[in-house]
Amino acid sequence: TSCAPHCFLMLFLSFLSECRGQVTITQSPSITAAQPGQEVRINCKTSSSVYNGNYLYWYLQKPGEAPKLLIYAATNHSNTPSRFSGSGSRTDFTLTISGVQTEDTGDYYCQSFHWPGSTSSLSVLSCK
């Protein structure tokens, strides 16, 4: 029938939104205060495994600036200072800042990708 493509599209879109709603992401701690030189760890936990086991991205956003990609695919640097490192797989991930500096102050986001959608969460770091 002529409605078949439309019916399929509606069912598919319904499936997409339903799957997206099932994934939750928790980042901890939500707020961190650190002294320069300290090690800072930010954890990101998803309710289901990320796509391919490593589709987890870390961003830093400073006031008035666009978010900057720090780590992609869980562990890979994106022109990022070596004090930043990422670890983890599937549902549990960590961003480590070894020897935090005052310029590292800002909002840290982890973004996880799941077929067919993505979700993100926020932590705030203040280094004074």
Query: For residue range 64-115, what is the model confidence (pLDDT) as tens digits?
Result: 999 999 999 999 998 999 999 999 999 999 999 999 999 999 999 999 988 7
70, part of any domain? yes
Instruction: Give domain status of residue 90, yes or no.
Output: yes
User: What confidence score (pLDDT) does residue 39 get?
Assistant: 95
Question: b/e string for 76-104 if b means 16 or more Cβ within 10 A?
Answer: eeeebeeebbbebeebebbbbbeebeeeb
Q: Which domain holds residue 87?
A: 24-127
20-67: per-residue pLDDT in tens? 457 888 888 888 899 999 999 999 999 989 989 899 999 999 989 999
Task: Flag whether 8 is in a domain.
Answer: no
Q: pTM for the whole thing?
A: 0.78
59 within a domain of the structure (yes/no): yes
Q: What is the CATH number of the domain that holds 111?
A: 2.60.40.10
Whether residue 64 is contained in a domain is answered as yes
Number of domains in the chain: 1
Which of 113, 108, 104 lies closest to 82, judged by CA? 104
DSSP 8-class letter at 49: P
Task: Give the residue carrying structure tokens 């701690």.
Answer: 29
Q: Are 51 and 73 in contact (CB under 8 A)?
A: no
Give a yes or no: residue 50 inside a domain: yes
